[in-house]
Amino acid sequence: MPIKIHYQQQEVELPEGSTAETLAQKFQKTGPNEALAAKVNGTLVDLTTPLSSGDEVKLIDFADPEGEELYWHSSAHILAQAVLRLWPEAKPTIGPPIENGFYYDFANLHISDEDFKKIEEEMGKIIKENYRTEREVFPNKEAAKKAFADNPYKIELIEGFEDQVLTAYRQGEFYDLCRGPHIPKLGKVKAWKVLKTSGAYWRGDPSREMLTRIYAITYPDKKLLKEYITRVEEAKKRDHKVLGPKLDLFSYCEEAPGMPFIHPKGTLVWSALLAYWRECHEREGYVEIQTPQIMDRTLWERSGHWENYRQNMYSTTIEEREFAVKPMNCPGGMLFYKKAVHSYREFPLRIAEIGHVHRHEASGALSGLMRVRSFFQDDAHIYMEPHQIEEEILRVLALAEEIYTTFGLTYHLELSTRPEKDTIGTDEQWEHATKALQNALERSGKVYKINEGDGAFYGPKIDFHIRDALGRTWQCGTIQVDMSLPQRFELEYVDSNGERKEPVMIHRALYGSIERFFGILIEHFAGKFPLWMSPRQVRLVPVADRHLPYAQKVKEALREAGIHTEIDDTHESVGKKIRLAQIEQVNYMLIVGDQEVENQTVSVRTRDNVVHGAVSFSSFLDTILEEKKTRALTSLFGEKR
């Protein structure tokens, strides 16, 4: 008897005993990037899964985030199979997908970059053999442990699983513990590359053994791999860890690991970021505070950090009292709120802080400005009545839109809802907060993704994932409803009936870590900052010493107008001076010689090596002041980034 399933908003009839793969074949979804797996009634499954009448079925392609993830996880098995063919004594441990590709960790394996080619060749042989992936279910833990008796790492994983079905996948001679699902045939992989190798502790624990990690990436199309490699090469050119020191923006010292030194040029960029931030926040009705960096242990016990975050905090003892350096600004903000009695008439009360925080990150996790131990956060804590949440979230969303688009950054939004367990607050509070966030997102017209159960224990949240010039995403801004800290600190306000109530509070950050945002902008602009935030806005290039007095006069006029200006008065040739200015990403080079002195003009050249020729100084000044005022992303003289 035929079965009837629902696919793409239509009812489809299939023969009895059909699988998701039958459906894919019926609709000719057989390309390398198509029908990698299926969602049946909302559950992600292999294509070999039998279908029943009434099932809702979605075929998962590579373009789907879930499809990309399972494609790369399947590919991790190909990598492991190739390694075991080449080094049979190696012990495979885990091999998850990551943002770009996947990795697999091995014990008892030592390789170098020179081994990548033979690993790729072996992967090619396995892909050509085009094995079907076969899922096997273990009846119990003992059966699973017996199957992997020669691998202590798999045994440890099995023993740690609770109340879940244990499964493994087979492809040819390779057999691995895995929950799946997997691509149906290995031949769907059309392009592959081993990227790098590194050391990694088993289960991320420095006290455990060091493993060999191999990173790789695969695609269903060679063109996609080529595009990825091009992006990687471009990212290397934009690497803020290279450009930052090269442009004299920041550096590190061994005496302060993970704590950046921001140089004078970097501080000019930093100051521009904060000036813009303050301009926006003052207009939006925020007040700014500063709270102490070191506070008594009792505060951190009350906030819950001492119990849950102690390992990441720096502490010290002063006069027999134990203090901690703040890892976040929130508890200090709570103390400030409690300094006064608050009325509903003040709400929404928007209190912001550029707070300097310290977190003890593992040395192996430190990475330029992206992961540091000392950084500033642009936090805000907004207090309100329950009925004000939705409107306030809309205001924050609009402010975030304004700020991110000013930098030419696009973004997507993710709404994370209540975790299944270990949360605080009533069902009614969670429902009200989540609905308010969702309604605000709907009213904003922004596309968003829902992450079921991924909220914080204290409330739901919205995260901003910004996209840079290379299409990479970074999680920066966040809006979090907090039902914990107002409760822990017994925050109150007086409502319209004269009764004392607990306020609703949201945490909100837009830059996030300012150091990290700075690093993202360095890479986004490839060091070519727009004029308004550039540390090298104008450089005067006198042709000879006799032109220095005029150059000095122009410099003073520019500096009085608020333009960062330098004179290259070295005895190098004009050509060398221009090349140096271009390397240092100076926005405008003004060459001054006899004609410029005589006509009171400047000869304008932009850093993209476009010569705009002689213009009157007043005309040049008017143009760049307009460019700075409007925070234009490109030169008003026609420069293209």
Distance CA 153, CA 17 (A): 38
Cα-to-chain-centroid distance, residue 639 = 29
| Concatenated DSSP letters of 320-377 | TEEEEE-SSSHHHHHHHHTTS--BGGG-SEEEEEEEEEE----GGG-BTTTB-SEEEE
Q: In Å, what is the CA distance from 447 to each residue of 20, 335, 453?
A: 29, 37, 19
Q: For residue 10, indicate whether it is catalytic.
A: no
One-letter amino acid at 278 equals: R
Candidates 55, 379, 482, 568; catalytic one: 379
Which residue, chain included where needed, has tokens 């904060």? Answer: 274
Residue 212 in contact with residue 199, Cβ under 8 Å? yes
Helix (H) or strand (E) holding 625: helix 617-629
Residue 57 in contact with residue 23, Cβ under 8 Å? yes
Distance CA 217, CA 119 (A): 13
Q: For residue 359, indicate whether it is catalytic.
A: yes
Candidates 185, 330, 536, 585; catalytic one: 330
Helix (H) or strand (E) holding 125: helix 116-129
Q: For residue 495, indicate whether it is catalytic.
A: no
Distance CA 488, CA 302 (A): 7
Q: For residue 507, indicate whether it is catalytic.
A: yes
Distance CA 46, CA 178 (A): 13
Q: For residue 377, indicate whether it is catalytic.
A: yes
- Residue 116 CA neighbour count, 13 Å, CB half: 15
Q: Which two tokens stand for residue 478?
A: 């966040």
Candidates 77, 185, 373, 507; catalytic one: 507
Distance CA 411, CA 52 (A): 40
Candidates 171, 377, 438, 585; catalytic one: 377
Q: For residue 381, indicate whether it is catalytic.
A: yes
Q: For residue 476, indicate whether it is catalytic.
A: no
Burial class (CB within 10 angstroms; exposed 0-12, middle 13-18, buried 19+) of 182: buried
Q: Where are the alpha helices (DSSP H) in 197-286?
A: 222-238, 240-246, 264-283
Which residue, chain included where needed, has tokens 């002195």? Answer: 597
Catalytic (active-site) positions: 330, 359, 377, 379, 381, 461, 507
